[in-house]
Structure 1
Amino acid sequence: MVLLLTTCAQGSKTSKAKIDNQVSANKTSKENLGIQEVERKLVKPPSTQDSAKQGIVLPEVKPLELEGTLAISGTQVVLPISQAIAQRFIQDGYPNKIDLAGIDTQVGFKLFCEGKKVDIVNAVRPITSQESAACAKSGVEPIGFQIATDAVTIVVSSQNNFVPKNLTRDEIAKVFTVEKWSDVNPKWPTEVIKRIVPAEFGTVGSVDLFAQAIFKGNVSLLINAPNTMAYEFVEQLHSEALVNPYMVGFLEYSSYKQNRDKLKAIAIDGVAPDQSAYPLIRPLYIYADAKAIWKRTEVEGFVNYYLTYVNEEIYTLGYFPVKPTVLDESKTKFLQVKGNKKLLKAANRRN
């Protein structure tokens, strides 16, 4: 099942560009799920010069002057950030179309490295050596930029009135392996635990991060536990929370924040998901092709714009900013790649 949402840029007098949002699906396991897409409001916060100019200041981008279309694919986790940046890019004058697809990191890299017209990959992890090798065969030079941080958040239904807001790692390990809630704590109900976890085994995503922190890396303890369901769309977890007070699962913090009426977050050893010491924090990235940055002004301009304004967008979406030094590292990397553009032009003139 493919859900296509097309929205015209609003509030822009100069641009007729469109954003096409696609949630792509695996034909065998997803097409009959009947999951409806949940629209995310793209809120453009008031722009402040201070937030835009912290650390390294990138060159100004004029979206109206850029040509060509853009295609963004990869994980659904980063998709809301890229949607917000794309919307802002269009509001600032970008005159062409931006296609956004929410699939997963692994598929995004596959399309990108095979040269399937994907310009930007949204990723929850660095590119692997195997993926880099596939890119090299296609002449693609992947460059990663860390743009935000996400917290994999353990949740129960808001109807759950017996699990406290904090559990130890040992208690969490039991919650995700034993059969009944009373097996974790004899004071809790003798009801079966329904576990809802992401279907991303082996892709170094939230499942692997959770297993590393709770099961010392043993993913099989989690995915082979009884009464465990893997969700393809996070809305499945939301729906289960509405009808089953005995469910437990995990998802990205931004999705929890947008659904706090359905879910209750669980702290780990007294550390909440919005605290820096939380053990299930992961970096988020976008990837682009260095050659595309050199040769295509729309790719160069979009990456530049993304790194300039990402911190202004993520707060309203439920993500966390990277440290200023980390964002500066991404900006420095971009400037280094952009600098090669001058060398390329010089080489072309000599030839």
Structure 2
Amino acid sequence: MIAGSSTVFTLAERLAIEFVNEGYADQLLIDSIGSGAGFERFCVATETDISTASRLIHSDEIATCQGNGRDPIGFRIGSNVLAVVVSADNDFVEGVTLEELAEIFSTAETWQDVRPDWPAEPILRFAPGTDSGAFNYFVEAVFEQDPAPLLNAANLQLSEVPAVLREGIKLSPFSVGFFDYAYYAEQSENLRVLAINGTTPDATRIETNDYFLSRPLFLYTTATIMQEKPQVAAFLNYALSNATSANERVGYTAPTTARLNEGRRNWLVAMDLLQQDERLYLPKVRAESRLIVE
């Protein structure tokens, strides 16, 4: 049983389908209930084998887990990153503050409404469709989960197809849009990514969670569960081995090779295949949909 983040659900679903296609013959159940609710089921009810999260587990959640005989281990399997982009022909915007980002995608009618020295030209907005994870993440991060400001903005074009968004943004220096960073990295010609609060989404800032529109994606379990349930250990091993390709398929950003190697080493430690002093620890940071694959 796997439960937790709706964001990780997309990636876990892809990994689960491929895991089954590779020969796993038993039932694999994944619930999308949110990171916090996932830890409730993992740490309090102790009814799940893997808890998915789009954040690090909090210290109080660790304490609850340990109080119920579970010592959680986290494996980072990806990042959910959004890029805010403009046309390469845009020569007046290099970056924006969080407040300006919200204005650009809501009430501002012209660029000059955001900053007086920007052109008095209408803002042409492009965004993923309302059913996409990118749309929901942007709304959550920028508008505190209220989609109305974005949906009521003038000159807004929505599309579920990243290529449509890219092409639309390229056509005008007064266009702006957002979508998964992986789709920007895949084809960035004639586009330019904007800094947010002075930070752009490069590999280092994504890995250290320093870019505003970036969330780490984790699978949490325990060494005891892995040793008592070989199918759990096998799925985690599969996830670490196939994280790069799975992230590419769902539009997320894969972990660095160093991060994946760290996860593999921690997997070996959990399975008592390495000495404890060889373990590499993850850095300490402040701390319902359903899929059934048969």
TM-score range (shorter-chain normalised) is 0.5 to 0.7
Q: Which residue of 2 aligns with 1:148?
A: 78
**3-state DSSP class of the match of 1:187?**
coil
Write out per-residue CA displacement over residues 113-157 of structure 1, whole angstroms, 9 at most, x where no aligned residue. 12352222222221110111121222222110112233233379x
Q: Flag structure 1 segments of 5+ consecutive residues without an equivalent.
A: 1-70, 208-221, 343-351
For the structure 1 residues 142 and 165, does the alpha-carbon distance in structure 2 shift closer, same or farther, using more than 3 Å as the test?
farther
User: Does residue 245 of structure 2 align to residue 312 of structure 1?
Assistant: yes
The CA distance in 2 between the partners of 1:88 and 1:72, in whole Å, is: 16
Q: Which residue of 1 aligns with 2:58?
A: 128
**Contact 2:180-2:251 at 8 Å conserved across structures:** no
For the structure 1 residues 170 and 266, does the alpha-carbon distance in structure 2 shift closer, same or farther, using more than 3 Å as the test?
same
Q: After superposition, where does 1:337-348 map in structure 2 within 5 Å?
A: 337-339=270-272
User: Does residue 229 of structure 2 align to residue 296 of structure 1?
Assistant: yes
Q: Alignment partner for residue 100 of structure 2, among 174, 190, 193?
A: 174
Write out per-residue CA displacement over residues 197-229 of structure 1, whole angstroms, 9 at most, x where no aligned residue. 97789xxx973xxxxxxxxxxxxxx55xxxx76
Q: Which residue of 2 aligns with 1:94?
A: 24
Q: Which residue of 2 aligns with 1:103?
A: 33
The alpha-carbon deviation at position 337 of structure 1 amounts to 0.9
Q: Which residue of 2 aligns with 1:230?
A: 146
Q: After superposition, where does 1:269-288 map in structure 2 within 5 Å?
A: 269=195, 273=201, 279-280=211-212, 281-288=214-221
For the structure 1 residues 135 and 340, does the alpha-carbon distance in structure 2 shift closer, same or farther, using more than 3 Å as the test?
farther
Name the structure with the higher helix share.
2
**3-state DSSP class of the match of 2:42?**
helix
1:298 is matched by which residue type in structure 2? Q
RMSD of aligned Cα (Å):
4.6
Q: TM-score, normalised by structure 1?
A: 0.53
Q: Flag structure 2 segments of 5+ consecutive residues without an equivalent.
A: 160-167, 169-173, 276-294
1:230 is matched by which residue type in structure 2? D
2:101 is matched by which residue type in structure 1? V
1:291 is matched by which residue type in structure 2? T
Q: Does 306-315 or 331-340 show the bigger shift?
A: 306-315
The CA distance in 2 between the partners of 1:190 and 1:321, in whole Å, is: 32
The CA distance in 2 between the partners of 1:312 and 1:132, in whole Å, is: 30
Q: Alignment partner for residue 255 of structure 2, among 319, 322, 337?
A: 322
For the structure 1 residues 317 and 123, does the alpha-carbon distance in structure 2 shift closer, same or farther, using more than 3 Å as the test?
same
The alpha-carbon deviation at position 275 of structure 1 amounts to 6.1
**3-state DSSP class of the match of 2:79?**
strand
The CA distance in 1 between the partners of 2:65 and 2:262, in whole Å, is: 23
Q: Larger RCO: Structure 1 or Structure 2 (Cα < 8 Å, ≥ 6 residues apart)?
A: 2
For the structure 1 residues 272 and 338, does the alpha-carbon distance in structure 2 shift closer, same or farther, using more than 3 Å as the test?
same
Q: TM-score, normalised by structure 2?
A: 0.62
**Contact 1:109-1:131 at 8 Å conserved across structures:** yes
For the structure 1 residues 189 and 251, does the alpha-carbon distance in structure 2 shift closer, same or farther, using more than 3 Å as the test?
closer
**Contact 1:199-1:230 at 8 Å conserved across structures:** no
Q: After superposition, where does 1:1-351 map in structure 2 within 5 Å?
A: 71-154=1-84, 164=90, 167-170=93-96, 173-177=99-103, 179-180=107-108, 181=110, 182-184=112-114, 185-189=118-122, 207=141, 223=143, 230-231=146-147, 241-242=157-158, 252-253=180-181, 267-269=193-195, 273=201, 279-280=211-212, 281-339=214-272
The CA distance in 2 between the partners of 1:104 and 1:166, in whole Å, is: 39
Percent identity at matched positions?
A: 25
The alpha-carbon deviation at position 171 of structure 1 amounts to 5.9
For the structure 1 residues 108 and 253, does the alpha-carbon distance in structure 2 shift closer, same or farther, using more than 3 Å as the test?
farther
**3-state DSSP class of the match of 2:96?**
helix
The CA distance in 2 between the partners of 1:320 and 1:272, in whole Å, is: 15
2:267 is matched by which residue type in structure 1? F
The alpha-carbon deviation at position 104 of structure 1 amounts to 2.1
Number of residue pairs matched by the alignment: 234
Write out per-residue CA displacement over residues 16-41 of structure 1, whole angstroms, 9 at most, x where no aligned residue. xxxxxxxxxxxxxxxxxxxxxxxxxx
**3-state DSSP class of the match of 1:301?**
helix
